[in-house]
Amino acid sequence: MAEVNSRGLADKASGESAAEPVLADDARSNSRRNIFIAAIAVVVLVGSLFLYRYLGGYESTDDAQVDAHLYPVSARVSGYVIKVNVGDNQYVQKGAVLVEIDPKNYEIAVEEAKANLASAEATAQSMNINVPITSVNASSQLKFTASGVENAGAGIVAAEKQLAAAHAQLEAAQADDERAQDDVRRYKMLMGKQEVSEQVYDQAMSTARASTATVVAARNNEAAAEQAVQQARSRLGESEASHQSAETGPQQVSSTRARARAAIADVQQKRAVLEQAELNLQYTQIAAPISGQVTKTVVVGMNIQPGQQLLTVVPLDEVWITANFKETQIRRMKAGQRCEIHADSSGRTFRGHVDSIAGATGPLFSLFPPENATGNYVKIVQRIPVKIVLDAGENQDHQLRPGMNVVPDVIIR
């Protein structure tokens, strides 16, 4: 009995000692599980935080494409195309001659304009020489005619004095003739009475005939003096007319100067025609306005007209990205923020930065902008065009072409 009791106590003691390790293992297992769960929770929390910060640190859109200014190249003069120096989709440098128009007609126009300019310059030079000559002649003529008027006036005075002298001589001759005639009559009566000799009578007759001749001569002298007065007065009229004509000298000088100015203006007009002809000659060679890839529609043999588009140059070095972000995406977006652009065509990532944000939504720039003043209005999230510029050297291989689809990521933090 005692032996049984002692064995039972031993078995009980051994059972209790065996349960203690089992309980310790369970406790350690629970502790490790709790630590693992806590670690997973921490990792999930940290990952969620990093994911939130990553997703909240950029804005992205797939509504984006590559843009560029397309440069249409058109003709500025009409003519026959004699040479096309570029092939389809060829890359050209700025200033390279793309198309050549037959220049013969324009070369002739230049030569004709040069000849007309030379003629106009010679005319203007002669007119400029005539201005001082006309001025000097007008001044000299005015002085000369003024002197002529004075001389003519003095001539009239002298002629009038000669007329007065001739009239006095006539009166004196007439008085002498009357006395001589009286003497003849008196001597004739006396001779009839034999009171005077016939010789005295003959002498009186001779004196009377001489006095009569003197009267005739005096009358002729008076008539000649009157004629001289008339001639002097005529010369005065002619001198006054010449003087009046000479007084128009300033107007003649002004007219000559006006013709000289007109000649100078004609020179300027002819020079402008020459410059235009030279420009038209230059326009026969159509050059690339910018470096880029060419798309052409012109061929040799075409007769083209001014304004006709012949080629289009695509400047692959000056492309940018137009990204249409939702209006809710641009609240923290601003110019200068860095961007990563993922190209659909090559899978390549390009770097750039925000250049600017458009001043209005895209639909407002359309031909028929939406009108929301209606009763069935439904609110739609609008998109704002954002211009993204590539960093220097990012598109040296010209992988990005206008119209390609891209996905830009704008770093807003």
The DSSP string of 12-68 is HHHHHHHHHHHHHHHHHHHHHHHHHHHHHHHHHHHHHHHHHHHHTTEEE-S-EEEE-
335/242 same-domain check:
no
Q: At 374, which CATH number?
A: 2.40.30.170
pTM over 0.85: no
Identify whether residues 127 and 246 lie together within a single domain. Answer: yes
How would you class 198 by CB atoms within 10 Å of its CB: exposed for 0-12, middle for 13-18, buried for 19 or more? exposed
Which of 240-244, 249-253, 339-343, 409-413 has the highest mean predicted lDDT (pLDDT)? 339-343
Tally of domains within the chain: 3
Phi first, then psi: give them for residue 209, nearest 5 degrees: -65, -35
Are residue 138 and residue 186 in the same domain, yes or no? yes
Residue 170 lies in a domain: yes
In this structure, is residue 78 part of a structural domain?
yes
Do 150 and 220 lie in a common domain?
A: yes
At 142, the pLDDT band (50, 70, 90 cuts) reads low
Q: Which of 227, 255, 277 is the last residue of a domain?
A: 277
Contact predicate 408/323, CB 8 Å:
yes
Q: Which amino acid is at 159?
A: A
Per-residue confidence (pLDDT) for residue 213, from 0 to 100: 80
Least confident of 105-109, 208-212, 406-410: 208-212
For residue 217, name the pLDDT band (cuts at 50, 70, 90).
Answer: confident
Q: Is the domain of 337 the same as that of 222?
A: no
Together in a domain, 220 and 150: yes
Q: Please, what is the average pLDDT of the chain? A: 80
pLDDT at 23 over 60: no
Does a structural domain hold residue 262? yes
Q: What is the mean pLDDT of residues 249-266?
A: 71
Is the pLDDT confidence value at 74 over 70?
Answer: yes
Q: Single out the residue of 120, 64, 103, 49 nearest to residue 339, CA to CA.
A: 64
**What span, in angstroms and rounded, lies between the C-alpha atoms of 47 and 412?**
20
- Other Cβ atoms less than 10 A from the Cβ of 172: the count is 13
Is pLDDT at 351 greater than 90 in this prediction? yes
Q: For the ranges 58-72, 201-215, 279-293, which has the lowest average pLDDT?
A: 201-215
- Give the pLDDT confidence score for residue 1 in this predicted structure: 44
> Confidence band (pLDDT; 50, 70, 90) for 235?
confident
Q: At which of 258, 277, 296 does a domain end?
A: 277
324 shares its domain with 239: no
Quick check: 276 pLDDT over 50? yes
Task: Return all residues near 173 (Cβ < 8 A) that are at least 6 apart.
Answer: 211, 214, 215, 217, 218
Q: What is the pLDDT of residue 10?
A: 47
The pLDDT of 13-41, averaged and rounded, is 66
Q: Is residue 290 domain-shared with residue 388, that is, in the same domain?
A: no
Distance of CA 370 to the CA centre of its chain: 41
Residue 92, domain CATH: 2.40.50.100
CB 176 within 8 A of CB 211: yes
- Of the chain, the percentage scoring pLDDT greater than 70 comes to 75
Residue 358 lies in a domain: yes
Q: What is the pLDDT of residues 357-368, one digit of tens each?
A: 999 988 888 777
d(CA 329, CA 342) in angstroms, rounded, equals 18
Task: Give yes or no: residues 395 and 272 share one domain.
Answer: no
Q: Is 357 left (phi over 0), alpha (psi -120 to 50) or beta?
A: beta
**3-state SS assignment for residue 381:** coil
* Whether residue 98 is found in the same domain as residue 206: no
Residue 25 lies in a domain: no
In-domain check, residue 10: no
- The answer to whether residues 219 and 110 belong to one domain is yes
Q: What is the CATH number of the domain that holds 121?
A: 1.10.287
Q: Which residue has the higher pLDDT, 342 or 247?
A: 342
Q: Comparing 387 with 136, which gets the higher pLDDT?
A: 387
Q: Is the pLDDT of residue 52 over 60?
A: no
Give me the domain span that covers residue 183. Answer: 106-277
- Residue 126 belongs to some domain of the structure: yes
Dihedral, 236, 237, 242, 243 alpha carbons, nearest 10: 70
Q: Half-sphere exposure of 67 toward its Cβ, with a 13 Å CA cutoff?
A: 13
Instruction: Check pLDDT > 80 for residue 105.
Output: yes
Q: Is the pLDDT of residue 4 over 70?
A: no
Give pLDDT, residue 80: 95
Average pLDDT of span 258-274: 86
Residue 407 predicted with pLDDT over 80: yes
Do 143 and 91 have their domain in common? Answer: no
pLDDT value of residue 2: 42
Per the model's pLDDT, the better-predicted residue between 290 and 362 turns out to be 290
Residue written as token pair 């001739």: 166
| Domain final residue pick, 225, 259, 277 | 277
Q: Per the domain annotation, does 163 fall within a domain?
A: yes
Residue 136: pLDDT above 70?
A: no
**Chain-centre distance of CA 376, in angstroms?**
54
Give the mean model confidence (pLDDT) for residues 14-33. Answer: 61
